[in-house]
Amino acid sequence: MFTTYTGTAMTNKWMIDVLADLRNFAAKQAMLELAEHLDDAILVASIEIRTHSNQVVDVGVNGTKAGNISGTVGHNQYS
C-alpha cells in the first residue's frame, strides 16, 4: 500500500497523494466545500514542490489532473 518515492520532487509527492485521497473522500461524503479547498491545496502543494525542486510534479492521483468540483455545492444527493 505504501509507495516509495525517490528523487527530490518525489520525496514530497506523497503530500499530493494524501491531499487527493482526502479530497476524494470529502467529495464522496458530500463535503463539497472541503473538497474544493483540498483541490486548491493540491495545486498550491504542486507549485511549492515544483518551485523547490525545479521539477514537474503530476497533480492528482496516478498522474491524472486534479478535478474541479466548483459549482457543485447544492447539486448533490444530500441537498
- Predicted TM-score of the model (pTM): 0.57
According to DSSP, residue 66 is labeled: P
Using an 8 Å Cβ cutoff, are 5 and 16 in contact?
no
Cα–Cα–Cα angle for 44, 57, 70, rounded to 5 degrees: 45
DSSP code of residue 64: P
The model's pLDDT over 14-50, given as tens digits with 9 standing for 90+, comes to: 899 999 999 999 999 999 999 999 999 999 999 988 8
How far is residue 11's CA from residue 26's CA, in Å, rounded to a whole number?
25
Q: Which three cell numbers stand for residue 10?
A: 518525489
